[in-house]
Amino acid sequence: MGEFELIRQIFLPVAEATATPAVRLGIGDDCAIQSLPAGTELVFSVDTLVEGVHFPRQYEPEHLAWRALAVAASDLAAMGADPVCFTLALTLPSSDQAWLEAFGHGLQAAARAFDLALAGGDTTRGPLTVTIQVHGTVPDGAAITRGGARPADLVCVSGALGDAGAALGWLDTEPLPPRASELLARYHRPWPRLGLGKNLRGLATAAIDISDGLLADLGHILTASGVGATLDVSRVPLSPALRTLHADRAESLALQAGDDYELCFTLPPEHWERVCQLDPGLTVIGRITRESGLILKRDDGEERVHATGYDHFGAAQ
């Protein structure tokens, strides 16, 4: 398949299957055109995944496409944006039809699941790299940034943490122990918390998606907001599969491993009940404090983690 044949066979069908009136002009011209309703702002972000760095070599193309779009869409969720469309810059070592078809399937499934229309892209030859730019919208001024956390706000997270990090250890394992597939699914098929992000508009004071680990990402909120926090480590939500398969490492995976793409956000306590009605799978894990720094509370005492120390936790395991 040549470049144009490839676009026609693989990517045009994805664009057609995900088309939305907000993309006024899609694949086929020099640029795409997105119309912005009056009173809305464009929220956009780009993410690159490089083979051997962000995903393993010989990785399933269907999973790769899903992951790449999920990772990008997760940034929209963290801002509270409504997803609209994306562009895809794909660099391929060769044009392998079966690989491309599988990639197209994964892309279409994810694009439909996340309500994102494929609006255009670029296709080049080189080491396997997937770059996705996502576009979303928010009502003027309604985006949730990292910088708004205030003392006494609750620190909350969605879902369970540590599963995707644990899955990294099972990627090449066969046969898999019982329940390991639950962890692997979290790695291969992350679900950006788009519905939650939108629900948090006007309620949460700050939000971030957990891509690098809870401590690292909460650290970004604390730095941007000029505050500190205490975390009750026993309250950090762990899945039954993680507790079963990694009893010894569950806590450190949940605190330090990335790739879960859950949201961490801060919330004035008076909004907790309302947010729980909108989304039942949330947990309060701590409090924002006036003093900077992060304090981890455990049954046997407290451990202070300084703002400059967050990088220390950036590398999982």
Tell me which residue has tokens 């895809």: 88
Is 107 near ligand ADP (CB under 6 A)? Answer: no
Q: Looking at the DSSP assignment, which residues form a beta bridge with residue 23?
A: 34
Residue 123 binding target from Mg ion, ligand ADP, none, CB below 5 to 8 Å by type: ligand ADP
Task: Output the smallest distance, CB 122 to Mg ion, in A.
Answer: 4
Please give the Cα distance from 37 to 258 (Å, whole number).
35
Is 68 near ligand ADP (CB under 6 A)? Answer: no
Is 49 near ligand ADP (CB under 6 A)? Answer: no
Checking 98-104 for CB contacts under 8 A at 24+ apart, the result is: 99/61, 100/1, 100/6, 100/9, 100/10, 100/61, 101/10, 102/60, 102/61, 102/62, 103/10, 103/61, 103/62, 103/64, 103/65, 104/10, 104/11, 104/13, 104/14, 104/65
Task: Output the smallest distance, CB 74 to ligand ADP, in A.
Answer: 20
Task: Output the smallest distance, CB 9 to Mg ion, in A.
Answer: 17
Element (H, E) at 293: strand 293-298
Candidate ranges 48-56, 122-130, 145-153, 281-289; the one touching Mg ion (CB under 5 A): 122-130
* Number of amino acids touching ligand ADP (CB under 6 A): 13
- Given candidates 3, 122, 291, 303, which one binds Mg ion under the rule CB under 5 A? 122
Is 267 near ligand ADP (CB under 6 A)? Answer: no
Tokens of 251: 């806590």
Task: Output the smallest distance, CB 39 to Mg ion, in A.
Answer: 32
Residues that bind ligand ADP in the complex, under the rule CB under 6 A: 7, 11, 27-30, 88, 90, 118, 120-123
